[in-house]
Every structure is written in C-alpha cells, then in structure tokens.
Amino acid sequence: MQYPNQELEKLIDKYVNGEANSEEIDIVERFFESFSSRPNLLNTLPDEVQEALKTRIHSGIMNKLASKKKRSFSFSQIAAAAILCIAFASLFLYIINAPQNQEVTLTNGQQRQIVLEDGTKVTLNASSKIIYPTSFKDSSTREVTLIGEAFFDVTKNPSKPFLIHTPRMEISVLGTAFNVRDYAEENNAETALVRGKVSIWKTGTNDQKFILKPREKFVITKLDRPEKASPSPSLKTITAPAGIAIQPFTVSEKDGSALETEWLLNRITIQDERLLDIALKLERMYGVEIKITNKAIASQRYSATFENEQLESILKALQTVNYFQIKKTGKNQLQLF
C-alpha cells in the first residue's frame, strides 16, 4: 500500500536519514505536532494488529539506520523518527478506515435528487452544494452540510438523529420533510417544515433552540443589510431574538405545495419584488446570466406567478407591467436596460 501523501513520505524519509534541510525539518515537526493532539488511533486496534504494525515500523527504521552506518544518530533522533512513523501510520489507518465524504455541487439551471445511505431523499436546487458521508453505520448521528437550497425527506431513525449544517442554521430531526434555504447572496435564510418536527437554532448559538411545527418556518435575517425582506401582512410572526422569526406559511389544498417549496414544481411566485432580485431567481432557475445596467429599471417592482414557463415568456410578461429592453449579449447572457 502507498501513503496518501507521497511528498510528506519523502520528507519523513529525509528527516529520518538526516538529509532534510532546516525548512523541511520544520515542516515535518509541525506535522507531528498537529497530529499529536489527536486521539491515539493505534489503541483502538486489536492487540495483535498493533504489535504487527509496530514491529513493521520498527523494522523499517532499523533497516534505514543500518543502511547509513557511516552516519551517526543520537538517541533523540531515533526516538523522534520512531514516533513520527507511528503517528504517520496512525493517520494513514484513520484515512483509509474513515467514511468518505461525497460532495455534489450544482450550477444555475440544475436540480438533482440524491438518495443517502439510510434512504433519506434530498432534492438539491440550483447553485447549491451538499456534503455527506457515504455511510452512517459507524456514527451516532447522520450529518450533512448544505450551502444553498434543498428539500429533505428524512428516513425516521430515533436512535440516530439527522443533523443539517448550513452557514446560518443548525437543524436536528428524526424523520420529517422540510425545505432548507441558505444562499449567501440572499438576505434571509429559512427552514420550512412540511411534516414532522424539527429542532433548529442559529449557527454558533446552541443555547436557544426552537421547535417547529408543521406549516411553520424559521427565518434568519441579516441585520447588517439596509433592506430587509418583510413577511406578508397576513402572517403572524412569533416573537424571537433580533434577526430571527418563526412564521406560519400556507400550503395549497389543491396540490399540497407552498411558496417555500414551489421550486420543486418549476414554479416561481413574485410578490412585490425588485427586478434585481427577480433576475437572481431567474439566473438560478434557468442557468443564465442577467445583467441590469439601469438602476431605475433594477428597482422596478413586480408581482406574478409563473409555472413551467420559458424564460423569454416570463421576461416579456414583466415587460408589459414596467417596460424595459432585453438584449442578448452572449450564450446564456442577457442585458436588461
């Protein structure tokens, strides 16, 4: 077998043989210092495996020393070399035995459904990324990281909670369906619960957790932005710390959809929104780049609903409300002015 980092292996060999320069010695010693703070992974192995590994490492060190008879080594150099080899072998064992993470990153105009090892279904929206382990078998929790937006239908497992980490939210569930949205460029991040129950809190502050009931959403608003998204006047907001709100949302009796999950149906609803913000949604949905060169045009507001419509049809419909011109400037590139 080969080490996972060939360059580091070469440095360690040079260090052991006394051939490393001052810069290389510093790199190797800093590597060992950083690793020494980790648990001793060798102790987690069966005794016979530990002995076999230590014997092999010891034999390797002795062979290296024997081949360098003309070079003298102090006891401290030999001890340091042995410790380094054991630490490196431990790290190697950890790497090959630890569950590997999968990472799925989508660009604008893409959607994908992912089925995790436990049966949980994740529908990932455009311009989003999810990181998850290939297996949950050897862990006490099921943890994933999301940047962007996804709809989760989590397989129930009371003994192994499902945890989602986003830049602004931490979400803990057992088995439920909900939508998570946390795009860096958007003022609001939110989790909307369709069924089941979730515990949720702001990233970095686990002293105040909130329990969501079906048809409630947890909303975090950036307080350093001049313009904040306002909830609909018909919604009653539950009092929470500054920048956090628990709001009810409406689910359609006709098809069970909501504004928070309509992207799953290729539907877009605009509620008194600036053309600048609408353009961002359209870029994500249709995989295009839209540049608005006129500030007055960018501030014009619109309200409408579109379902399974072509981008051209949507822009022409918006034109009829507040006029602007459209120019194609390149492949998948548009200019509004």
Quote the pLDDT of residue 54. 54
Quote the pLDDT of residue 306. 96
State yes or no: pLDDT of 237 exceeds 50.
no
Quote the pLDDT of residue 255. 77
Q: What's the pTM value of the predicted model, to 2 decimals? A: 0.68
Give the tens place of pLDDT for each residue, 107-117: 999 999 999 99
* More confidently predicted of 241 and 103: 103
Backbone angles phi, psi at 147, to 5 degrees: -125, 115
Burial of 218 (0-12, 13-18, 19+ CB in 10 A): buried
Give the tens place of pLDDT for each residue, 209-220: 999 999 999 999
**Which has the minimum average pLDDT: 54-58, 128-132, 202-206, 212-216?**
54-58
State yes or no: pLDDT of 196 exceeds 70.
yes
**Same CATH topology for 101-248 and 266-336?**
no
Quote the pLDDT of residue 35. 44
State yes or no: pLDDT of 228 exceeds 50.
no
How large is the average pLDDT for residues 133-140?
91
Quote the pLDDT of residue 222. 84
**Nearest of 169, 163, 212 to residue 189 by alpha carbon:** 169
Residue 142 makes CB contacts below 8 A (sequence gap 6+) with 116, 118, 120, 136, 157, 160, 161, 162, 163
3-state secondary structure of 9: helix
The answer to whether 106 and 129 have CB atoms below 8 angstroms apart is yes
* More confidently predicted of 24 and 281: 281
The answer to whether 129 and 146 have CB atoms below 8 angstroms apart is yes
Which segments within the chain are labelled E, that is strand? 101-105, 112-115, 121-124, 129-133, 142-153, 162-165, 169-173, 177-182, 188-195, 198-202, 210-212, 216-221, 244-248, 267-274, 289-292, 301-307, 326-330, 333-336
Sign of CA dihedral 13, 14, 15, 19: positive
**Which has the minimum average pLDDT: 174-183, 238-247, 312-321?**
238-247
Quote the pLDDT of residue 87. 63
State yes or no: pLDDT of 188 exceeds 80.
yes
CATH code at 101-248 = 2.60.120.1440
Confidence of residue 253 (pLDDT cuts 50, 70, 90): confident
How large is the average pLDDT for residues 64-92?
59
C-alpha dist (Å) from residue 31 to 37, 85, 144, 326: 11, 12, 28, 56
Domain positions in the chain are 6-97, 101-248, 266-336
Q: What is the CATH architecture assignment of 266-336?
A: 3-Layer(bab) Sandwich (3.55)
* Mean pLDDT computed over every residue of the chain: 80
